[in-house]
Amino acid sequence: MKKILIIEDDALIARAYGSKYGSAGYETQVAEDGEAGLALVQTFKPDLVHLDLGIPRVNGAEIIRRIRAQPLLGALPIVVLTNTYQNRMVKAAIDAGATRCVSKATCTPRMMLEVIDKLLSRGPAAQASAAAVPPTSLEPESKAPTAPENPPAVEATDDLAEEIIPVPHDETPSLAPQTLPAPAETFTRETERHEVFHARIHSEFLKRRPELLAALYEPLEPLLRAEDEEVRIRGLSQMCRAADRLASHSGLAGFEAASEMAGALAALLRELVEGPSEISASTLRTIVDTCDSLRESPRFTEESANQPAAPPVVLVVDDDPIARRAICLALARINVAAISVDGPVAALGLLAENKFGLIFLDVQMPDMNGFDLCRQLRTIHPNESTPVVFVTTLSEYESRERAAQVGGNDLIAKPFLPIELAVKALSLLRPAADPSA
């Protein structure tokens, strides 16, 4: 039996993946921090390491470096689960020798299992099963539970996790080739198990969601009141962990859009912890708005789970080519396409003929200022209700008030952090399945 070491500090997530791997015939052990993980690499001797980059005590990249420093472990596959928006952490992991990096927001346990099966190139059983998986299997999983899941191969230490995974021992799959059913039958059974597994995790997440959101909100008020930088950094760090946790759990349950938003929020919070000089009224407001958006989000409704977001196009209007490029680069981080124009005249032409998902406007532009353009576009079909965010150096209270008066939805102060702009865009763009859209 091949062995997988899961280095993950969130017990529930570790349990969910452990169960998934266990039901597929792998032996697993869990380490809750980096030091424990490194110790288990020596004693458990895994064939593969599943590593969460945001692990406490020894960070993910350092764990990989230390493993790779051992001559016998140079080829040990290390699959890293990451927050898509924490690019520097991902690059550090790749530089340290990670075998594969997968996004928490878009990778379900089923996909992770497929990645692991391929990396470990298992025997005929896994190959038969893998051959039956259609090429579209990397699409998000569907619901509709029909059959029970197999037992977890990890020791139970978490009551909730025990509830997630039912334990019908007689259904444990054998990896012996002679006991295998035909590939098509294997595929059907595997699909059913995946569906049951997913439905249980999904349902447990919805139960647990208020607690995860409460953890996100808890440090918020003290943070907003704090004048001392140390207190602020402590609050931001606490929020960052909570946002990361929310991203992991919602991603695991298949709420991709919510997971992306929480992940981007975690990345913004981390940037502010590392560069507190960037803390401003604008960034704090973005944090509050994003928390509210996550709390009230239709992204957490049953209908929106596992529904891919629509591909919205964003319009950027700014007479400064550097600002235009900077905004488009920030949007590219969240895979959002943007069209940019250098002034209101060009913008008005586009607005009359195209529906945009979101509009970023500079304020001070020649010919017509951004406030007037916003007032005008509120009368232009089909963009009467398209969200408008002003991006401007005029960030004073009066500008915010004026922005609201002309129909603007928000305002970001220049110079902006790209991740702040990305977070703002994510919270304003509506996924296709949004029932309120």
Partner 1 sequence: MYTQPMEMARHSAPAPRTSVRTEAPPVDMARFLTMVDDDPKILREMATMYLVESTELMNGLHAALETGDIPEAERLAHKLGGSSATCGMLGIVTPLRELELSGKARNSQENEKLLKEADRQHERICAYLVDNVLSH
> What DSSP assignment string belongs to 12-77?
HHHHHHHHHHHHTT-EEEEESSHHHHHHHHHHT--SEEEEETT-SSS-HHHHHHHHHTSGGGTT--
Among 309, 326, 351, 433, binds partner 1 (CB under 8 A): 326
The alpha carbon dihedral of 110, 156, 173, 4 has a sign of: positive
138: its two tokens: 């990397």
Other beta carbons within 10 angstroms of residue 225's beta carbon come to 10
Torsion angle defined by CA atoms of residues 213, 219, 222 and 227, in that order, rounded to the nearest 10 degrees: -130
Min. distance of Cβ 242 from partner 1 in angstroms?
Answer: 23
Q: What is the DSSP letter of 141?
A: P
Is residue 87 involved in binding partner 1 (CB under 8 A)?
yes
Is residue 276 involved in binding partner 1 (CB under 8 A)?
no
Footprint on residues 390-409 left by partner 1 (CB under 8 A):
393
Among 136, 144, 322, 436, binds partner 1 (CB under 8 A): 322
Is residue 337 involved in binding partner 1 (CB under 8 A)?
no
Min. distance of Cβ 416 from partner 1 in angstroms?
Answer: 7
Residues touching partner 1, count (CB under 8 A): 22
Letters for 127-146 (x = contact with partner 1 by CB under 8 A, - = none) are --------------------
> Is there a contact between 157 and 6 (Cβ–Cβ < 8 Å)?
no
Is residue 45 involved in binding partner 1 (CB under 8 A)?
no
Stretch of 2-10, 240-248, 319-327, 370-378 lying at the interface with partner 1 (CB under 8 A):
319-327
Contact residues for 147 (Cβ-Cβ < 8 A; gap 6+) = 189, 192, 193, 195, 196
Is residue 417 involved in binding partner 1 (CB under 8 A)?
yes
Stretch of 65-73, 87-95, 98-106, 247-255 lying at the interface with partner 1 (CB under 8 A):
87-95
Nearer to partner 1, 210 or 415 (CB): 415
Q: How far is CA 333 from the centre of its chain?
A: 12
Exposure string (b/e) for 311-335, b if CB count within 10 Å is 16 or more? ebbbbbbbeeeebbebbbebbebbe
Among 333, 375, 378, 430, binds partner 1 (CB under 8 A): 333
Stretch of 6-14, 37-45, 50-58, 320-328 lying at the interface with partner 1 (CB under 8 A):
320-328
Point out which residues bind partner 1 (CB under 8 A): 87-88, 91, 271, 275, 319-323, 325-326, 329, 333, 364, 366, 393, 414-418
